[in-house]
Amino acid sequence: MKFLRVLLLLAGLWLAWYGISLLLKMNIADLESVALWSLGGIVLHDVAFAPACAAAGLTARKLLPATSWAPLACGAACTVSLSLIAVPVIGREHAVTGNPSVLNRPYTWGLVAALAVVWGVVGLILIQRSGLLRIHRRRTHPAPR
């Protein structure tokens, strides 16, 4: 275990050095942009996103039954992750006119399909946990007497 930790530490140090060496090659305007986006992301996360997630989680725990917390939390985490990944490309189909292979798909519909799959699975898990399937099975296949 200690060997693995040392190996991970060395890998982390090497990756940090690689990232710093890439930053040192940038000009001042690019460095200011990197700093602005990095600080903006941290501030946006700590001021808005994290408190909103905590409030939503506390509210859900008070309003929803305990058996549905985990599937709904997974669905919400997947929704936020997929949405954040899709934000840069949503509505920008064929954005680079000189290269039709860039952003050449209907990404909005891809996001809708992915979210439908996620929430469909969440719905199936909630139905399974609620016991509706067991009631249906008992009615269609009664236990032998």
If DSSP states are collapsed to H, E and C, what string results for the chain? CHHHHHHHHHHHHHHHHHHHHHHHCCCHHHHHHHHHHHHHHHHHHHHHHHHHHHHHHHHHHHHCCHHHHHHHHHHHHHHHHHHHHHCCCCCCCCCCCCCCCCCCCCHHHHHHHHHHHHHHHHHHHHHHHHCHHHHHHHHHCCCCC
- According to the model, what pLDDT value does residue 100 have? 73
- According to the model, what pLDDT value does residue 91 have? 76
Lowest pLDDT segment from 7-11, 62-66, 98-102: 98-102
- Residue 143: pLDDT band (50, 70, 90) is low
Residue 11 has pLDDT above 90, yes or no: yes
Paired tokens of 78: 């997947």
- According to the model, what pLDDT value does residue 136 have? 64
Q: Which of 72, 77, 70, 67 is nearest to 132 (CA)?
A: 67
Average pLDDT for the chain: 88
CA Rg value for the chain: 23
- Residue 23: pLDDT band (50, 70, 90) is very high
Contact 96, 102 (CB under 8 A): yes
Q: Give pLDDT tens digits for 25-42.
A: 999 999 999 999 999 999
Q: Give pLDDT tens digits for 87-127.
A: 888 877 766 777 777 777 888 999 999 999 999 999 999 99
Contact 19, 11 (CB under 8 A): no
- Residue 137: pLDDT band (50, 70, 90) is low
Residue 56 has pLDDT above 70, yes or no: yes
- According to the model, what pLDDT value does residue 59 have? 93
Burial letters for 13-27: b for 16+ Cβ neighbours within 10 Å, e otherwise?
eeeeeeeeeeeeeee
- According to the model, what pLDDT value does residue 135 have? 65
